Protein backbone atom coordinates (compact mmCIF):
# COMPACT_ATOMS: atom_id res chain seq x y z
CA UNK A 1 0.00 0.00 0.00
CA UNK A 2 2.87 2.41 0.73
CA UNK A 3 4.10 2.15 -2.88
CA UNK A 4 0.63 3.03 -4.14
CA UNK A 5 0.46 6.01 -1.74
CA UNK A 6 3.92 7.20 -2.78
CA UNK A 7 3.09 7.02 -6.49
CA UNK A 8 -0.27 8.71 -5.87
CA UNK A 9 1.48 11.62 -4.13
CA UNK A 10 4.08 11.94 -6.92
CA UNK A 11 1.44 12.00 -9.67
CA UNK A 12 -0.78 14.39 -7.71
CA UNK A 13 2.14 16.79 -7.14
CA UNK A 14 3.06 16.61 -10.82
CA UNK A 15 -0.53 17.18 -11.93
CA UNK A 16 -0.79 20.18 -9.62
CA UNK A 17 2.40 21.63 -11.08
CA UNK A 18 0.57 21.76 -14.41
CA UNK A 19 -2.59 23.14 -12.80
CA UNK A 20 -0.47 25.91 -11.27
CA UNK A 21 1.50 26.77 -14.41
CA UNK A 22 -1.02 26.50 -17.25
CA UNK A 23 -3.17 29.41 -15.98
CA UNK A 24 0.05 31.44 -15.69
CA UNK A 25 0.58 30.84 -19.41
CA UNK A 26 -3.01 32.06 -19.89
CA UNK A 27 -2.08 35.30 -18.07
CA UNK A 28 0.78 35.77 -20.52
CA UNK A 29 -1.44 34.92 -23.51
CA UNK A 30 -3.99 37.49 -22.37
CA UNK A 31 -1.21 40.09 -22.24
CA UNK A 32 0.20 39.43 -25.74
CA UNK A 33 0.13 42.58 -27.82
CA UNK A 34 -1.86 42.42 -31.05
CA UNK A 35 0.50 41.60 -33.88
CA UNK A 36 2.92 39.56 -31.73
CA UNK A 37 2.28 36.43 -33.74
CA UNK A 38 5.48 34.58 -32.80
CA UNK A 39 5.03 35.20 -29.07
CA UNK A 40 1.40 34.10 -29.18
CA UNK A 41 2.27 30.98 -31.19
CA UNK A 42 5.05 30.06 -28.74
CA UNK A 43 2.77 30.47 -25.71
CA UNK A 44 0.00 28.44 -27.36
CA UNK A 45 2.46 25.66 -28.15
CA UNK A 46 3.65 25.65 -24.53
CA UNK A 47 0.07 25.59 -23.28
CA UNK A 48 -0.96 22.74 -25.59
CA UNK A 49 2.02 20.60 -24.60
CA UNK A 50 1.54 21.31 -20.90
CA UNK A 51 -2.19 20.52 -21.06
CA UNK A 52 -1.48 17.18 -22.75
CA UNK A 53 1.26 16.35 -20.25
CA UNK A 54 -0.79 17.27 -17.19
CA UNK A 55 -3.70 15.19 -18.52
CA UNK A 56 -1.34 12.22 -18.75
CA UNK A 57 -0.30 12.87 -15.14
CA UNK A 58 -3.87 13.25 -13.89
CA UNK A 59 -4.98 9.81 -15.09
CA UNK A 60 -2.62 7.72 -12.93
CA UNK A 61 -3.05 10.15 -10.02
CA UNK A 62 -6.80 9.59 -10.09
CA UNK A 63 -6.55 5.84 -10.72
CA UNK A 64 -4.13 5.36 -7.83
CA UNK A 65 -6.41 7.41 -5.58
CA UNK A 66 -9.40 5.26 -6.49
CA UNK A 67 -7.28 2.17 -5.85
CA UNK A 68 -6.37 3.41 -2.36
CA UNK A 69 -9.98 4.28 -1.64
CA UNK A 70 -11.69 1.14 -2.95
CA UNK A 71 -9.07 -1.58 -2.54
CA UNK A 72 -7.39 -0.50 0.71
CA UNK A 73 -10.48 1.13 2.20
CA UNK A 74 -8.84 4.47 2.96
CA UNK A 75 -11.58 6.91 3.90
CA UNK A 76 -14.29 4.27 4.24
CA UNK A 77 -16.40 3.65 7.30
CA UNK A 78 -17.84 5.87 10.03
CA UNK A 79 -16.16 9.17 10.85
CA UNK A 80 -14.74 9.61 7.36
CA UNK A 81 -16.54 12.79 6.35
CA UNK A 82 -13.21 14.28 5.33
CA UNK A 83 -13.08 11.80 2.44
CA UNK A 84 -16.44 12.95 1.08
CA UNK A 85 -15.21 16.55 1.16
CA UNK A 86 -11.94 15.53 -0.49
CA UNK A 87 -13.78 13.64 -3.24
CA UNK A 88 -15.91 16.72 -3.91
CA UNK A 89 -12.72 18.77 -4.27
CA UNK A 90 -11.25 16.14 -6.61
CA UNK A 91 -14.35 16.41 -8.82
CA UNK A 92 -13.95 20.21 -8.79
CA UNK A 93 -10.26 19.83 -9.73
CA UNK A 94 -11.20 17.61 -12.65
CA UNK A 95 -13.71 20.28 -13.72
CA UNK A 96 -11.00 22.96 -13.36
CA UNK A 97 -8.65 20.84 -15.48
CA UNK A 98 -11.35 20.46 -18.13
CA UNK A 99 -12.06 24.20 -17.93
CA UNK A 100 -8.39 24.86 -18.68
CA UNK A 101 -8.81 22.81 -21.86
CA UNK A 102 -11.86 24.85 -22.85
CA UNK A 103 -9.95 28.09 -22.22
CA UNK A 104 -7.01 26.82 -24.27
CA UNK A 105 -9.28 26.04 -27.21
CA UNK A 106 -10.75 29.55 -26.96
CA UNK A 107 -7.26 31.06 -27.04
CA UNK A 108 -6.42 28.91 -30.07
CA UNK A 109 -9.58 30.15 -31.82
CA UNK A 110 -8.69 33.74 -30.84
CA UNK A 111 -12.03 33.94 -29.03
CA UNK A 112 -10.99 34.56 -25.42
CA UNK A 113 -12.75 37.67 -24.09
CA UNK A 114 -11.18 37.64 -20.60
CA UNK A 115 -8.19 39.73 -19.61
CA UNK A 116 -5.02 38.98 -17.69
CA UNK A 117 -6.45 40.13 -14.33
CA UNK A 118 -9.20 37.50 -14.51
CA UNK A 119 -6.60 34.83 -15.24
CA UNK A 120 -4.49 35.98 -12.29
CA UNK A 121 -7.47 35.22 -10.03
CA UNK A 122 -8.25 32.01 -11.93
CA UNK A 123 -4.64 30.96 -11.28
CA UNK A 124 -5.25 30.98 -7.50
CA UNK A 125 -8.05 28.38 -7.53
CA UNK A 126 -5.83 25.25 -7.60
CA UNK A 127 -3.67 26.68 -4.80
CA UNK A 128 -6.71 27.02 -2.54
CA UNK A 129 -8.02 23.60 -3.54
CA UNK A 130 -4.68 21.94 -2.84
CA UNK A 131 -4.54 23.63 0.56
CA UNK A 132 -8.02 22.34 1.37
CA UNK A 133 -7.24 18.78 0.20
CA UNK A 134 -4.01 18.60 2.19
CA UNK A 135 -5.75 19.85 5.34
CA UNK A 136 -8.57 17.33 4.85
CA UNK A 137 -6.16 14.41 4.34
CA UNK A 138 -3.70 15.29 7.11
CA UNK A 139 -5.93 16.84 9.79
CA UNK A 140 -9.13 14.86 9.01
CA UNK A 141 -11.26 17.54 10.70
CA UNK A 142 -14.52 15.54 10.45
- Cα 80 to its chain centre, rounded Å, is 24
Confidence of residue 141 (pLDDT cuts 50, 70, 90): very high
Give the whole-number percent of the chain exceeding pLDDT 90.
Answer: 89
3-state SS class at 71:
coil
Check residue 76 and give its pLDDT: 78
Domain that holds residue 10: 2-139
Check residue 72 and give its pLDDT: 81
Split into its structural domains, the chain has a count of 1
C-alpha 136/C-alpha 139 separation (Å) is 6
Asked if residues 64 and 9 have their Cβ atoms less than 8 Å apart, the reply is no
pTM across the whole model: 0.93
Amino acid sequence: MLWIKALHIVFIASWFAGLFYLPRIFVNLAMVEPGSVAERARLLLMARKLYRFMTLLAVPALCLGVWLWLYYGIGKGPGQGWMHAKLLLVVLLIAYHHGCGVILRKFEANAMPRGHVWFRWFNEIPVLMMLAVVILVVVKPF
